[in-house]
Structure 1
Amino acid sequence: MEENKNIESLRRVHFNSIWLVPLIAIIVAGWMLYQNWASQGPVITLIASNAEGLEAGQTKLKARNVDVGRVIDIRLSNDYDKAIIKVRMNQGTQKMLRKDAQFWVVKPRIGKEGVSGLSTLLSGAYIDMSPGEQGKESDEFTLLSQPPLSTKTEGIRILLNSHNTAKLDVGTLVHFRGYEVGYVEEVGFDTAAGSITYRIVVKAPYDALVNDAVQFWITPGLLFKSSVQGFEVRLDSLETFVSGGISFGLGKDKLVGNSVKDLTSFHLFASKEEANHNLYDKTIEYLFLFDSNVSGLAAGADVEFRGVRIGTVMAVPFTDIAMDATTSFDRPVIPVLARIEPQRLHDWSVSGEQSVEKWKELLDTRIKQGLRAKLEIGNYLNAARVISLDFMDNPPAPGMTEFAGYDVFPTAPDSLADIGGKVSTLLDSFADVPLKQTFEQLGQTMAEANETLRQLQSLSNSVEQLLEKSETQQIPDDIAEVMKQLNLTLESYQANGQIGRPLRENMLSLGRSLNELQPLLRQLREKPNTLIFDSKPRLEVQPKAAR
């Protein structure tokens, strides 16, 4: 009986096939969990100043536009100074996570490289990375605020130094004739020289454009300039408008130089005009002492000879000796330092020092011949002035030739001052005129003129009274009778008149007599002795008989 109960209980514990379903589900879920765990990469930490535009579970991490991870958590650091961003990387990305790997946020921005990240306007910001290649693997990195610059760019690296320009940022573009050829790689400051230093990269193959004859200058995004030549407005590209740029090129009429090595130093000029002025390194400095208004004359203005630029104004006023110039003369003067640049006119084919000496001697000779400097308005729109050199017929004496160690160029009154002097002289002449006596004489003359007019009026009244008398009215009849008698007299002298007819007949008779005397007169003209001696008779010509 007991044995039958055991057999019956075994029948009740019989395995039910329905249990296979949850078992299989557990096995599949476990396998999927394992596959998910096995396919996941490491978790890395990105430290950023802020997490603007990033969202946990949404923001992706990409490398060369391929998804390689996703942000899983964002929180603040313990000191609340940084944002801690956790990113789950995909499987197989461990080799990318070396010390030199770089991460940055891609979002819409306008910067030195132009407009970028426009695709994120719809998809949202994402994190981009540059895979690491050197160093050990790491799981903690700094999230950059700007896209990094490539340190593997092929080309040439140049050092620039600037003393009087504003600071440019890393990434500022370098142009050649407006074409992008490089960028600023590093910015520093030389405390000993007091200058800003830049290390720029000119990418290959444009590095061949760099030689020892090129010059570098800052390209302003927007330029508004007023000078002797007029007003100039220039707008460059959008990227230079935002943050400026650097350009380089050969100077005017300058030949291509020799190639340079890496980290060769060049000076960075504030503008292209300043770079062009630097081409003229052989100069003659003069001090101009003006005793008139120098308003409108500024550093960089032209020094001209009959409209042709031959130099540049360096300082207005020249502060090194300004106090000496205003106290050493009876009449204070304004010192202006300028330089003559013979290279603007002369092909510098001989030694520089010899050429400078020759030009100095030539200028001294021309000064003795009457060459003088004066201020003239170069542009009437902005009243900009220039120093104009020209010969004068009766130049003022040169005066001193040296002051405070500088050669002095003799000056003459400017055109406006000359006109002002003439106007002043004219006004002085008017002041010397005896206006009171003149007006008294004029009043007397006007009184005499009034008396004369009064007498004429009285005479007119007398004539009118005379014409109204009866005796005066008979005068026209007498005049008519006289004219009639004169007409009769003239008729008697006409051709058919009593006097004119006989006179006409006598003249006709005289004419006939003169015609009859013509043969005699002709004979006397040919033979004056005809009246004394007879002339030989002429033989008559006998006609010949017919044969």
Structure 2
Amino acid sequence: MSTPTEEPELPAAEPVPRSRWRMQLVWLVPIVAILIGGWLAVKAVMERGEQISISFKTGDGLEAGKTKLKFKDVDIGVVEAVSLTPDHKRVVAKAEVTRDVSDLLVDNTRFWVVRPRISGGTVSGLGTLLSGSYVDVDVGNSPKARRSFVGLEEPPVIASDVPGHEYTLHGTGLGSLDVGTPVFFRRIQVGQVASYQLDPDGHGVTVKVFVNAPYDRFVRTDTRFWHASGVDMSFDSSGLRVETQSIVSIIIGGIAFESPPDSQVETSADTSTRFELYTTRADAMKMHDRIVVKYVVNFADSVRGLTVGAPVDFRGVDIGEVTAIYTRFDPDTRRFSSPVEINLYPERFTSRYQNDGAGGHITDDPRALANYLVEHGFRFQLRTGNLLTGQQYLALDYFPDAPKASIDWSKTPPEMPAIPRTLQSLQESVTRLLAKINNIPFEDIGKDARSTLRTTNAMLGQLNTQVVPKARDTLLSAQSTLDSANAALQPDSSLQQSTEDAMRELTRTAASLRTLADYLAQHPESLVRGKSEDKKP
């Protein structure tokens, strides 16, 4: 019988206390996730762009989370929210702009919504029909940062980085101008209209134009701007003239500028220099006179055909223009007249002469010049400038036979003397002639004429009854004599025997004719009255 094997004794287990801070592997995953999440959150905060707000009149084209902000066609942000202002009058778009372009957000940076537009003859934003609207940015140059902006309702015509100069024009009306309307220099488009607005007093408009470089150097301090819209037609002594800048200006209008032909100015105009905007090129190129003297010319005849702006002419030279036309009633004479106000430019009405190589003038005193002209027979007169249209103009000319007159300096403006137009003078002469003709006693003259005719008829009757029968008898006697002479010349006549008798008969006949002729020569009235009988003593 075998003896059981003894098993070895195991050592006694000793308890070991668990560490309180010992980390389990299962917690490693959430810790890493938290770290990554925190890192992402910090990164998101660090990379978060600038928050800006843009105010618009409407929310057309704005959509939260979709509408992009672009600068030079590069995405720089997105619209995050669109809401109304507390007064519900405008729309505010909250947008986030990437941090790397935050330096573009300055005081004069401009924002506008790009959508399809037709303005100033140009079409823009057609690409948004497929891609959708977006907010475009034009970066300013101000050193001052800004985060709240007012968006433009229309895109700016000129970007801030385009070289050139902007000028201010003032005119009486806008015409067919619009934002984007071209600006021409010698029929070359060199700029465009940037903006326009009505003057506060409502008497005109202010237009801002931008002229691109290098053409802006041609805008000088004496440059003239005018409307180049449509077609400018004029009819003068050289014929019909038609001028236009381009087909574009005919359709959408335009502005043109140019310096006067005799300009000696070389200084370029500064930015925002103010110029006058004239209606036509002719108005723009008129001489700008430094001295303007106002007068009134009072006409007793009709001024039909004379308009405001009509020239005052001195032998083909414009020395002024008509500024107003109205009527006046004189209570003393109880007659109407037509006063015409004019502007005279003494600098134009000068008589230059050579005196040791130096030029001169009649006088430097406008009043002395006016008195000089009137004293020497100068008068104003209405004349026809165009026979087709009946347009009148005011002429100043020399009339040596004009009645003496003087200028009434007591009136304001002073009143200059006038002379009736040539046709009216002719009409007055004809009227005076007719008055004299009416004073002729035609009735008495007619009575005398009828009496003379009766006397003449009586004389003719006496001639027929007295003189004619005697003349007939004389002619019959002559005929008888000729017949006798003819018979005597016949071969079988007794001419040879009675020649002496025939000659005596012919002599007596000739003597009778001579006596009759002498009597008629001495008494020609016998042809009318007959032979007078000798009165017995």
Give TM-score scaled by structure 1 length: 0.58
Which segment is superposed worse, 269-278 or 473-482?
A: 473-482
Give the structure 2 partner of residue 215 of structure 1.
224
Match of 2:339 among 335, 340, 344: 335
Task: Note if 1:344 corresponds to 2:351.
Answer: no
Q: Which residue matches 1:431?
A: 438
Residue in structure 2 matched with residue 375 of structure 1 by the alignment:
382
Rounded to whole Å, the distance in 2 between the matches of 1:450 and 1:132 is: 115
Please, which moves more after superposition, 266-275 or 229-238?
A: 229-238
State the Cα distance separating 1:206 from its structure 2 match. 0.8
- 1:366 offset after TM fit, Å? 2.9
Could you list the per-position Cα deviations for residues 314-360 of structure 1 after superposition, in whole angstroms to 9, with x for gaps in the alignment? 2223xxxx65x745765433221223324335599xxxxx9873454
1:237 maps to amino acid: S
1:361: Cα distance to partner?
A: 2.6
One-letter amino acid matched to 2:184: H
Give 1:309 deviation, angstroms.
Answer: 2.5
C-alpha distance 453-244 of structure 1, shift in aligned 2 (>3 A): farther
Structure 1 window deviating more from structure 2 (277-286 vs 223-232): it is 223-232
Structure 1 stretch displaced more, 334-343 or 409-418: 334-343
CA shift for structure 1 position 148: 4.6
Residue number in structure 1 paired with 2:319: 310
Coordinate RMSD, CA, aligned? 5.8
For 1:258, what is the secondary structure of its paired residue? coil
Cα shift at 1:183:
1.8
2:209 is aligned with 1:200? yes
CA distance in structure 2 between the partners assigned to 1:429 and 1:355 by the alignment: 45
1:414-429 correspondence runs (5 A)? 414-429=421-436
Distance 1:390 1:48, change over 3 A: closer
Q: Residue 336 of structure 2 aligns to a residue in which SS? A: coil
Aligned position for 1:290: 299
Q: Distance in 2 between matches of 1:64 and 1:480?
A: 142
Per-residue CA deviations over 1:414-469 (Å, capped at 9, x if unaligned) read: 1121011012112212221223333444445555666677777x5799679959x9
Counterpart mapping for 1:448-463 below 5 A: none
**Is the Cα–Cα contact under 8 Å of residues 155 and 205 in structure 1 kept in the other structure?**
yes
Q: Give the structure with the higher percent helix.
A: 1
428-437 vs 232-241, which deviates more?
Answer: 232-241
Instruction: Specify the SS of the correspondent of 2:347.
Output: helix
Rounded Cα–Cα distance in structure 2 between residues aligned with 1:445 and 1:189: 88
**Residue 173 of structure 2: aligned partner:** 165
Q: Distance in 1 between matches of 2:443 and 2:180?
A: 82
Given candidates 406, 410, 414, the residue that maps to 2:413 is 406
Count of paired positions: 422
Question: What is the CA–CA distance in structure 1 between the aligned matches of 2:59 and 2:450, rounded to whole Å?
Answer: 96
Structure 2 gap segments, 5+ residues each: 1-53, 62-68, 77-88, 92-97, 353-360, 490-537
> SS at 1:406's partner residue?
coil
What do the CA deviations read for 1:204-258 (whole angstroms, capped 9, x no partner)? 0011111212122222324466899997665543333344322222235232242
Shift of 1:275: 2.7
For 1:111-150, list aligned pairs within 5 A: 112=120, 114=121, 116=123, 130=136, 148-150=157-159
Which residue of the other structure, out of 240, 247, 251, is the alignment partner of 2:256? Answer: 247
In the alignment, is the contact (CA less than 8 A) between 2:71 and 2:138 conserved in 1? no
Structure 1 unaligned spans of 5+: 1-44, 53-60, 69-80, 84-91, 349-353, 485-547
Residue identity over aligned pairs, in percent, reads: 24
Larger deviation, residues 178-187 vs 397-406: 397-406
Q: In structure 2, how many angstroms separate the alpha carbons of the residues matched to 1:326 and 1:423?
A: 27
CA positional deviation for 1:197: 1.9
Write the letter of the residue equivalent to 1:254.
Answer: S
User: Do the aligned partners of 1:292 and 1:413 also contact (CA within 8 Å) in 2?
Assistant: yes
Contact preservation (8 Å) 1:189, 1:197: yes
1:497-512, aligned counterparts within 5 Å? none
SS of alignment partner, residue 343 of structure 1: coil
Looking at structure 2, the residues matched to 268 and 483 of structure 1 have their Cα atoms a distance apart, in angstroms, of: 119
Which stretch of structure 1 is more off in the superposition, 361-370 or 293-302?
A: 361-370
Task: Say if 1:48 and 1:82, in contact at 8 Å, map to a contact too.
Answer: yes
For 1:251-291, what per-residue CA distance to the aligned partner results, in whole angstroms no more than 9, with x for missing partners? 35232242332222222223333333351222333221111
Going from structure 1 to structure 2, the CA distance change for 1:433 and 1:128 (only over 3 Å counts) comes to farther
Deviation at 1:398, TM superposition (A): 0.8
Shift of 1:133: 5.5
C-alpha distance in structure 1 between counterparts of 2:186 and 2:60, whole Å: 40
Aligned partner of 2:44 in structure 1 is none
> Residues 216 and 266 of structure 1 are in contact (CA less than 8 Å); yes or no, is this contact kept in structure 2?
yes
Q: Measured at CA, do residues 220 and 474 of structure 1 come closer, stay the same or move farther in structure 2, by a change above 3 Å?
A: same
In structure 2, the residue corresponding to 1:393 is in which secondary structure? coil
Distance 1:128 1:398, change over 3 A: farther
Assess, with a 3 A threshold, how the Cα gap between structure 1 residues 383 and 101 changes in structure 2: closer, same or farther.
Answer: closer
CA contact 1:312–1:338 (8 Å) conserved in 2: yes
The structure 2 residue matched to 1:273, chosen from 282, 289, 294, is 282
Give the structure 2 partner of residue 527 of structure 1.
Answer: none
Equivalent residues of 1:374, 1:388 under 8 A apart = yes
- SS of the aligned residue for 2:319 comes to strand
* Cα displacement string for residues 484-517 of structure 1 (whole angstroms, at most 9, x for unaligned residues): 9xxxxxxxxxxxxxxxxxxxxxxxxxxxxxxxxx
User: Aligned AA for 2:409?
Assistant: E
Give the Cα separation in 1 of the matches to 2:215 and 2:71. Answer: 29
Q: What amino acid maps onto 1:357 in structure 2?
A: D
Is 1:156–1:207's contact at 8 Å kept on the other side of the alignment? yes
Local SS of the residue matching 2:383: strand
- Separation in 2, partners of 1:189, 1:276: 25
